[in-house]
Structure 1
Amino acid sequence: MADQLKEIAEIPRDFLREGTQFLHRCTKPDKREFIKISQAVGVGFVVMGTIGYFVKLIHIPVNNILVGGA
């Protein structure tokens, strides 16, 4: 019983220790790294938006054919 309580008490302690280690390893990105990340995110937005636009463009006529034919 006491062993189980110790194991349960260690879970938050381990979480806090690992969290502080993670925060100490994190660094703020420099300007070059920030620009690269921003460009990658921007390209992702454009690609996903383009895919969504073409899916919608194809979906509208197909939907009209299915609904209009019924």
Structure 2
Amino acid sequence: MPYVNIKITREGATPEQKATLIKGVTDLLYTVLNKDPATTFVVIDEVALEDWGVGGLPVDAYRRKVGEKS
């Protein structure tokens, strides 16, 4: 009984995109590990940008820093 937790920033993933993620992960687990799709659970958590950090910075600040280097 696989359980997959996908965390994404809360930036407007559409219901269709979420459905595609759920199907894709479920199909992958079936293809690679022969896990029954009927018992595969996929949960998508949307996290506010201010609650997500990368490289020691909040996501907004990290993106600005990376954008400056480009």
Same fold, TM exceeding 0.5?
Answer: no
Specify which structure has the higher proportion of helix: 1
